Structure 1
Amino acid sequence: MGNRIRAFRKLKGYTQQKFAEQLGISVAVLGSIERGMKDPTEKMLVQIAALLNIDSRDLLGEKHG
């Protein structure tokens, strides 16, 4: 999931710093999430998806449609 978060973040043009600020977390925490060392909370997952303007299932790698 971390790799997908990183890919979508970069696709939308966010730096780690700006994205972390928007989420209200530190760059270190975001980096841990993107490296797969830490899982985001459900609330944070919803925030990430909203900021990236995508469905949270896309972050989880789930098929939908």
Structure 2
Amino acid sequence: METEIWGRRIRAFRKLKGFTQKELADELGISVSVLGEVERGTRYPSSELMSCIARILNIKMNELIPGNCNRRNRK
């Protein structure tokens, strides 16, 4: 379940930043199939991969963490 959440968040940010799977996979130096597995939640991303994804997408690492929402906006 948690891997699916990681994957959905990665996919959402990738699309928001205008990357195709191929473009992001190329930037990461991984295959499209590996990125697809991560986005579908069938492969758990390593912390190194998560760090690279965050850097390339120009977001903070904690934005990719499941359950980590901007709590200030909830009040």
Q: Structures share a fold, TM > 0.5?
A: yes
Instruction: Name 2:14's counterpart in structure 1.
Output: 9
* Pair 1:52-2:57 in alignment: yes
Normalised by the length of structure 1, the TM-score is 0.92
The 8 Å contact of residues 57 and 63 in structure 1, kept in 2 or not, is answered as no
| TM-score (norm. length: structure 2) | 0.80
- Greater gyration radius: 2
> What are the ranges of 5 or more consecutive residues in structure 1 without an aligned counterpart?
none
Where does the alignment leave 5 or more consecutive residues of structure 2 unmatched? 1-5
Determine whether 1:27 maps to 2:32: yes
Compute the displacement of 1:53 (Å).
0.8
The number of residues matched between the two structures is 65
Q: Between the two proteins, what is the percent identity of the paired residues?
A: 49
The answer for the alignment partner of 1:40 in structure 2 is 45
**Any runs of at least 4 consecutive aligned residues in structure 1 with deviations exceeding 4 A, and if so which?**
none
Q: What's the C-alpha RMSD, in Å, of the aligned pairs?
A: 1.4
